[in-house]
A and B are shown apart, each in its own frame.
Chain A
Amino acid sequence: MAQASTASAPTDMRSAGRERSNIDIFTYDEKIVRYFVYATVLWGFIGMAVGALIALQLPWPAANLGEYLSFGRLRPVHTNAVIFAFAGNSIFAAIYYSTQRLCKARMFSDWMSKFHFWGWQAIIVSAAITLPLGYTTSKEYAELEWPIDIAIAVVWIVFAINFFGTLYKRREKHLYVALWFYIATIVTVAVLHVGNSLALPASMLKSYPIYAGVQDALVQWWYGHNAVAFFLTTPFLGLMYYFMPKAAERPVFSYRLSIVHFWSLVFIYIWAGPHHLQYTSLPEWAGTLGMLFSVMLWMPSWGGMINGLFTLRGAWHKLRDSVVLKMFVIGITFYGMSTFEGPLLSIKSVNALSHYTDWTIGHVHSGALGWNGFMTFGMIYWLLPRLWRTELWSQKLANAHFWTGTIGILLYVLAMYNSGITQGLMWRAFDEAGNLMYPEFIETVVQVIPMYWVRLIGGLLYLGGVVMMMANMYMTIRSAPDELPDPAFAAPRQPMNYGHGDGSGDGTSEQAPEPAPARARTASESDPVPTEADDTPATKKASLPGSRKAEGPGTKKAEGPGPKKAEGPGTKKAQLPGSKKAKGPDASDDADDDDNEDDAS
């Protein structure tokens, strides 16, 4: 449906393109982002509904609905659905939306984008079928059996090619901090997934891991902890770095802090896995190492929080009117809380109490509901009007979502702290004669059941918030224009192929023209971290005739780097972006432009 209109936008722009031969015109693939947003919301609802069901099964076992829908089989359905389907689709939406803008380039391949989308959904569906049937490896967050594991690897590789291909053909020299986090995510998840899933099949849906016992435990929690780190943390930090400044209309607080906290985070996180195995048969040194690095992790984690929250410096009043910012602020605050709590839990003496109890569950959901959930909701409320080019249907409903969700999280988390600490204390209590105070385990179970009900109420409130968002989304999309052409953008043609210059190491020749664009940026933003790589106003204008827009972001820069760099290694590279783009709707224009460019240089 977008086809016809996509074609028309570039037609308008063609004239503009001809006039200014050093301007490149291109479109962003927004359809794929809309798809990922749909999937996020749909799976979020399903995953959390299953969460509510298992939350009901705990205090009320009659809710175990037969063999396939009992707690043990549904719990992994819940975790997989919320992590890989809800959070997963959410970060893909964020990555596909922001990467194109930060690179000023359409995704490398539309075909790969589609393959990624549908492949991922197929994996989720197969998980939703196989897990209730009892096909599971039992390894947390890696329950899927080997054929699905292979499918995940394939889809992830295609995603990686698509992403790095986009970096390769980018029109913006420097990678913005959000992209660093995406890079770390893509690389690390691949390494973790392959490393932890190595297994020998015994049949089509049963396999045994190549690691045994203690080694298996270590590898699993190397994976498990870093699934948290590189699936639920780094991509969401990338999301934060892109959408928070957008929503606040401020540059990121500190560029230096971004650098320091990025590198320390990716380096330190990997070491922390053994904190899931304190006091087990894992050698003690490993647990100690895990504890030390977990405590160190507190600093870079709060670096991220500070950079996110302080982006609002001097603009806190904007919170009042922006549900997006409210969501982000609560999300980042919960990130700060769970990354303070995490190091605490990894300390041996605390872990001795908390491990195996509901305290862990409370910790998980303060991160998951607060950080992952609210960052996702904030992003969706920000994207809805932009992707569907209309107004959000109801701000009031969005605000109601915010409050219901927040109260839901608080109930959930407080109930779990309460029951977790109760369990921990009851398990270890001795009476005066030196016997266990509660020798029957069941006593400790019955004690926390009221808290399970409170958790259920909290979960239902949170889920209710999601339903409000769905209603809001439905009504918003109903008022969207029938056709949503991909927005067209213009940027100065880059005589240097940045992607190509990569490993060349000729830093000197590249540095020369460098200050120019950097200064341009500092001048407009008063901060070294670029937030203007994507021009929000331009997005809005996209439905207007293209010719006008071409002057927007284009002209400004065209004077900057364009002419100066033209003498460089221009010729070689000018051909590359052109030929690759030939698939796009604007192929012919580009071809023309490329010729011109070659002549010029």
Chain B
Amino acid sequence: MGRFIKSNGMHRTLEGWPLVFTVLTTLSILVGGLVEFLPLVLVNNSVDRIETVEPWTPLELEGRDIYIAEGCNTCHSQQVRPFRHEIERYGQNGGGYSKAGETVYERPFLWGSKRTGPDLAREGLLRPQALWHVRHMEDPRSTSKGSIMPPYPHLLEKKIDFDGLTAKLRTLKRLGTPYAEETIENAATIARTQAKAIATEVEEQGGPTDLEDKKIMALVAYLQSLGTDVAAASDAGPSDAGPSDAGSAESDVTADASK
């Protein structure tokens, strides 16, 4: 070591060889990333599947892309950590904490880094009502007094780009999301049908009419879907414990509760 770093040592020599220096630097920065990434690629795919988790419907996918475009993820996380207080707050109605298996179709993942507003990973279980979301998006303070969320009235005015959906689904299919060719071909029609159903629901609940081709329908469809597939899994299975990492998570819960 001393020989290496003394003032006329080996490092001095290295400083005269930019190419070698650059190669060594590159190697040092590659190690950590590879060690952490490779196991995930090799192992992850097989272990954590949850049977009930399915790709989004075309309309939900569109809603998710609107969520991204509006930057909802800059204020809302989608990741319930395995703490008692988080499960209590967000994991009611069978949602529990977030598991790896529910994110397999998330491109990109939307876990977020900041909770200026509440977590939304289980929103579909906590607030299933369509009209509430329509009102809330149009004017957040009309449903939640004191909220600091921006209003999104334009979502009730602008139309969904139904025709772009086929290309989106096809791209996702290429990346591995198992969409049936039929769904891809008829994406627009499928989405219109679902939007119409939600629009009817809103009307029945006493809300505004004529929303069936508006962006808000896609967003509501997405929000309503959040968490439902996981809850379905816990209905089906004997417990709502996560698949592989249940043990460690449980201990986190108790550790947290004892604080």
A: residues with CB less than 8 A from B are 57-61, 64, 66-67, 70-73, 75-76, 134-140, 164, 167-168, 173-176, 179-180, 183-184, 187-188, 191, 195, 200-203, 206-220, 222, 255-256, 259-260, 263, 266-271, 273-274, 276-277, 279-284, 286, 289-290, 293, 352, 355-357, 360-361, 423, 427-430, 435-436, 439, 441-442, 445-446, 449, 498-499, 501-503, 507, 510-511, 514-515, 518, 522, 528
Q: Which of A72, A188, A216, A357 has the most CB of B within 10 A?
A: A72
**Cα–Cα, bound, A283→B143 (Å):** 38
Whether, in the assembled complex, B16 has its beta carbon less than 8 Å from a beta carbon of chain A, the answer is yes
| Contact in complex: B16, A58 (CB < 8 Å) | no
Given contacts A213-B109, A356-B113, A442-B144, contact A279 B36 (CB under 8 A): no
Known A184-B29, A501-B16; further 18 A-B contacts with Cβ < 8 A:
A173-B16, A174-B16, A184-B25, A209-B107, A214-B44, A215-B37, A215-B40, A219-B37, A256-B6, A259-B11, A283-B245, A284-B248, A360-B113, A360-B114, A428-B83, A428-B259, A445-B146, A502-B19
| Contact in complex: B148, A502 (CB < 8 Å) | no
| Contact in complex: B105, A72 (CB < 8 Å) | no
By a CB distance below 8 angstroms, the chain B residues around A446 are: 146
| Contact in complex: A255, B20 (CB < 8 Å) | no
**Cα–Cα, bound, A282→B48 (Å):** 11
What 1/0 mask marks residues of chain B from 116 to 138 whose CB sits below 8 Å from any chain A CB? 11100000000000000000000
**Which listed residue, B5, B13, B79, B146, touches A256 by the CB 8 Å rule?**
B5
- Chain A facing B: main interface SS: helix
| Contact in complex: A267, B29 (CB < 8 Å) | yes
Among residues of A, the one whose C-beta sits closest to the C-beta of B149 is A61
Given contacts A214-B103, A217-B109, A277-B111, contact A72 B16 (CB under 8 A): no
By a CB distance below 8 angstroms, the chain B residues around A70 are: 70-71, 150, 152
Among residues of B, the one whose C-beta sits closest to the C-beta of A518 is B8
A294 to chain B: closest CB distance in Å?
12
| Contact in complex: A136, B69 (CB < 8 Å) | yes
- The interface-forming segment of B165-173, B204-212, B218-226 is B165-173
| Contact in complex: A136, B33 (CB < 8 Å) | no
By a CB distance below 8 angstroms, the chain A residues around B4 are: 259
What 1/0 mask marks residues of chain B from 160 to 192 whose CB sits below 8 Å from any chain A CB? 000010011011101110000000000000000
Among residues of A, the one whose C-beta sits closest to the C-beta of B110 is A138
| Contact in complex: A61, B148 (CB < 8 Å) | yes
- Chain B facing A: main interface SS: helix
By a CB distance below 8 angstroms, the chain A residues around B150 are: 57, 61, 64, 70-72
| Contact in complex: B106, A213 (CB < 8 Å) | yes
Among residues of B, the one whose C-beta sits closest to the C-beta of A207 is B171
Given contacts A255-B7, A281-B100, contact A441 B148 (CB under 8 A): no
* Interface band, chain B: 35 or more
Q: Which of A173, A183, A208, A449 has the most CB of B within 10 A?
A: A208
**Cα–Cα, bound, A528→B86 (Å):** 56
| Contact in complex: B117, A183 (CB < 8 Å) | no
| Contact in complex: B256, A428 (CB < 8 Å) | yes
Given contacts A70-B150, A140-B113, A222-B37, contact A203 B73 (CB under 8 A): no
By a CB distance below 8 angstroms, the chain B residues around A290 are: 36
Among residues of A, the one whose C-beta sits closest to the C-beta of B69 is A134
| Contact in complex: A218, B74 (CB < 8 Å) | no
| Contact in complex: B256, A213 (CB < 8 Å) | no
Given contacts A255-B7, A502-B19, contact A222 B36 (CB under 8 A): yes
**Which listed residue, A71, A277, A427, A435, touches B74 by the CB 8 Å rule?**
A71
| Contact in complex: B13, A510 (CB < 8 Å) | yes
| Contact in complex: A442, B146 (CB < 8 Å) | yes
| Contact in complex: A436, B85 (CB < 8 Å) | yes
| Contact in complex: A356, B114 (CB < 8 Å) | yes
Whether, in the assembled complex, B32 has its beta carbon less than 8 Å from a beta carbon of chain A, the answer is yes
By a CB distance below 8 angstroms, the chain B residues around A522 are: 7
